Amino acid sequence: MRAVLENIVNIIKMANISNKAIQMPASAIRKLVPLADAAKKQGTKVYHLNIGQPDIKSPKCALDAIKNFSLENVSYSHSAGLMELRKGLVEKYYKKIGIDITVDELIVTVAGSESVNLALEIACNPGDEVIVLEPFYTNYNTFAFMNGLTLKAIPTDIRNGFQIPPIEEFEKAITDKTKAILVCNPGNPTGTLYSKESMLALGEIARKHDLFLLSDEVYREFCYTDEPHFSAMQIPGLEQNVILIDSVSKRYNLCGARIGCIVSHNKDVMAAAMKFAQARLCPPVLGQMASIGALDTPDEYFDAVKEEYIKRRDFMIEGLNKMEGVFTPLPMGAFYTIAELPVDDTENFARWMLETFRIDNETTMVTPAASFYKTPGQGKNHARIAYVLEVPEMEKALRIQNDCCRIIYKMCSAHGNMYAVIKEVLRRLGGPNCGSVRAPLAELIEEDYPIVDTCVSMIREALHMYC
């Protein structure tokens, strides 16, 4: 008994984690990973359409740089990054795409993620506001929370490809607490590419209200128009306002190398960035070595990669839009699209796909898109889908997704109570008899019986075909 009491006392005395740790938002992209892991342990193949992890091979010159690393000690680099990498980025990359910077105007970061966090830390004080276009990369919300900031979301419309709304909407959103506009171009999660005219208009707003323009351009190489990508760094007269967020590892399909950079002409910004950089000592050295090698990647590599992504995009978008109740616009950049699905809650749908739904012991994983929105209730029926698999793999994934969506869409076409429809379908398929629907919900109505008949037939057909 004494031992039990001592255990109780020890539990009571246990240190508690902070409120900040408790309230830290979970990653919308990775929080369902345990369900995917569980499915794989059961022998189920999971097609990962949830994450920007392409299966495209990394450049050989980058991999060779790692293989040829011969030092006997992996020591710290300079906090700003290896000079060879910084000079290489300035001379071999940025100058080539028309961005004229010096070595002192660039700091190598731990992926693009650290660049985003640094930009917010430098541009804003706790309590400040940052304007974003909705839907936005979900980790922006995480970094804003970590820094005590508020994201002010300006909605965009899936029906016009999530293009930038009229500039008047930005004027309405700006308050005396607004310190920055954060934009991703091309966009994650939408794949939207903003035109030169749109970027110039954003630059004018930033100039007029003395705001920072934080420009996340990690998908710059993946643009599918004849017009070249227009960087915020190229906006005339905005040199002191722009903070560029970039990713070396994303560009060269080296996601695990975790190398990015923060770039600005503003000396105060870069001096502050250096203080933060020194606090974490240095970026990953082996990742930097791979990045040095990657700078010698031939143009033909990017031409082939772009061609492959266009092929995957076209296949994915056409396949999704052929599904009943599904709509997605044609993205012009990156390798994502936001799809509207015939479900009430894509998180529940994604969970069900991972936990229950199987075809040939295979299923798909998508990212629920609600956490890419700030406005309450928005994006509940949206999912981010990444076209990062080869076409034959995506074909299988789409087939699974389509069969699932067809059945759900047919059920959703009922006029009465959905629960009553599901209960009747289960009963007819020999499943559990769940009884009648409890008041105040309505019982199955007469005109829904043909829909139940069709759903039962579709499910039986799927069972016969796949099980």
Pair 273, 226 in one domain: yes
Which helix (H) or strand (E) is 337 found in, with range?
Answer: strand 336-340
> Are residue 344 and residue 279 in the same domain, yes or no?
no
How many Å apart are CA 392 and CA 264, to the nearest integer? 42
Predicted confidence band of residue 416 (pLDDT cuts 50, 70, 90): low
Whether 104 has a pLDDT exceeding 60, the answer reads: yes
Using CA atoms, how far residue 144 sits from 62, 214, 263, 382, in Å, is: 33, 13, 20, 23
Let me know if residue 11 belongs to a domain. Answer: no
**Can you spell out the DSSP letters for 223-267?**
B-SSSPP--GGGSTT-TTTEEEEEEHHHHTT-GGG-EEEEE-S-H
Q: What is the CATH number of the domain that holds 263?
A: 3.40.640.10
Instruction: Give the rounded percent of residues in the chain with a pLDDT score beyond 90.
Output: 67
Q: Are 111 and 203 contained in the same domain? A: yes
For the chain, how many helices (H) and strands (E)? 17, 12
- The DSSP letter of residue 104 is G
How many domains does one find in the chain? 3
Select the more confidently predicted residue: 199 or 427. 199
pLDDT for residue 370: 93
Q: Residue 316: its pLDDT value, please?
A: 93
* 310 and 343 part of one domain: yes
Mean pLDDT over all residues of the chain?
Answer: 89
Which of 294, 311, 333 is the last residue in one of the domains?
Answer: 294
Q: Does residue 64 share a domain with residue 53?
A: no
Q: Is residue 7 part of a domain?
A: no
d(CA 394, CA 439): 44
The answer to whether residue 433 scores a pLDDT higher than 70 is: no
Give CA separation, 401 vs 29, 73, 339, 364, in Å. Answer: 18, 49, 12, 7
Q: What is the CATH number of the domain that holds 323?
A: 3.90.1150.10
pTM for the whole thing? 0.85
In 10 A of CB 24, how many CB atoms? 13
| Predicted pLDDT of residue 63 | 95
pLDDT score of 432: 62
Residue 66, pLDDT > 80, answer yes
Indicate the range of 1-15, 47-61, 367-381 predicted with least confidence. 1-15
Maximum Cα interatomic distance, the chain, rounded to a whole number of Å: 78
Same-domain check for residues 70 and 214: yes
| pLDDT average, residue stretch 167-172 | 95
pLDDT at 147: 96
pLDDT at 30: 80
% of residues, the chain, pLDDT over 70: 90
- 53 and 70 together in one domain: no
Q: What average pLDDT does the segment 433-452 reach?
A: 70
* pLDDT confidence of residue 458: 78
Tell which of 238, 273, 294 closes a domain. Answer: 294
Residue 249 lies in a domain: yes
396 domain-assigned: no
Q: Which residue has the higher pLDDT, 3 or 203?
A: 203
pLDDT given for residue 234 in this prediction = 97
Quick: pLDDT tens for 206-254.
999 999 999 999 999 999 998 889 999 999 999 999 999 999 988 999 9
Domain-ending residue, one of 356, 389, 422: 389
Determine the pLDDT at residue 43.
Answer: 95
307 and 384 in a common domain: yes
Is residue 14 domain-resident? no
The answer to the question of residue 330 being in a domain is: yes
Residues 273 and 340 in one domain: no
| Mean pLDDT value across residues 54-78 | 91
Q: Is residue 361 part of a domain?
A: yes
Instruction: Assess if residue 16 is contained within a domain.
Output: no
Q: Identify which has the larger pLDDT, 378 or 426.
A: 378
Determine the structural domain holding residue 462 and report its residue range.
Answer: 413-467
Q: Same domain, yes or no, for 182 and 263?
A: yes
Banded model confidence at residue 394, pLDDT cuts 50, 70, 90: confident
Q: Do 27 and 72 share a domain, yes or no? A: no
pLDDT of residue 395: 79
Q: Which residue has the higher pLDDT, 8 or 151?
A: 151
Could you tell me if 261 and 33 are in contact, meaning their C-beta atoms sit under 8 angstroms apart?
A: no
- Summarize pLDDT for 23-45 with one digit per residue, the tens: 988 787 788 899 999 999 999 99
Same domain, 206 and 100: yes
Residue type, 3: A
Q: What is the pLDDT of residues 317-371, one digit of tens each?
A: 999 999 888 999 999 999 999 999 988 899 988 998 898 888 889 999 999 999 9
Residue 286 amino acid letter: L
Angle between helix 33-41 and 346-355 (nearest 10): 20
